[in-house]
Amino acid sequence: MRRTYLGEFEEIVLLMVAIADGEAYGVTVSHEIEQHTGRQVTFGTVHNTLVRLEEKGFVTSRLGGATAERGGRRKRLFTVTAAGSRALQDIQQLRSQLWQLVPPRTLQLAGS
C-alpha cells in the first residue's frame, strides 16, 4: 500500500479535526490551534489544509445547518476518515519508537 505522508501542520490540523469529533470547521480549527499551540494561523491556511486533507482522503466534509450568526450561511464540517485515523495512529507509533531511540544524555541541558 502506498503511504501518504503528512506535513507537521497537516498533522496538527488533522488532530484538531479528530478532537472536534465531527464538529470541526475552519474557524474553530484555527482557534483551537492558536489556543493549544500558541501558533497564530490564518483561516485561509487552515481552510487550504482541510481541502488538501480531504483530497488525500484523510477527512470528509458535509454542510451543517444554516445559522443566524453566519447570516444564514452553512458551515462545512469536517470528520476524520478511517484513513485519517490510521495515519494519525501510524504517526503516533513512529514518533514513540523514535523517541525511545534517543539516548537520554542527548536531551540533557548543558550544566544540568
Instruction: Give the mean model confidence (pLDDT) for residues 82-101.
Output: 94
Report which DSSP code applies to 7: -
Cα 20 from chain centroid (whole Å): 10
Residues 11-68 pLDDT 10s: 999 999 999 998 899 999 999 999 999 999 999 999 999 999 999 999 999 998 777 6
Q: What is the pLDDT of residue 34?
A: 95
**Rounded Cα gap, residues 80 and 95, in angstroms:** 20
At 112 the three-state DSSP class reads coil
pTM greater than 0.95: no
Residue 32 has a pLDDT of: 94
What are the sequence ranges of the domains in the chain?
A: 8-100
Choosing among 3.40.630.10, 3.40.50.720, 3.40.1360.10, 1.10.10.10, the CATH entry for 8-100 is: 1.10.10.10
Give the CB-side neighbour count of residue 68, counting CA atoms within 13 A: 0
How does residue 1 score in pLDDT terms, banded at 50, 70 and 90?
A: very low
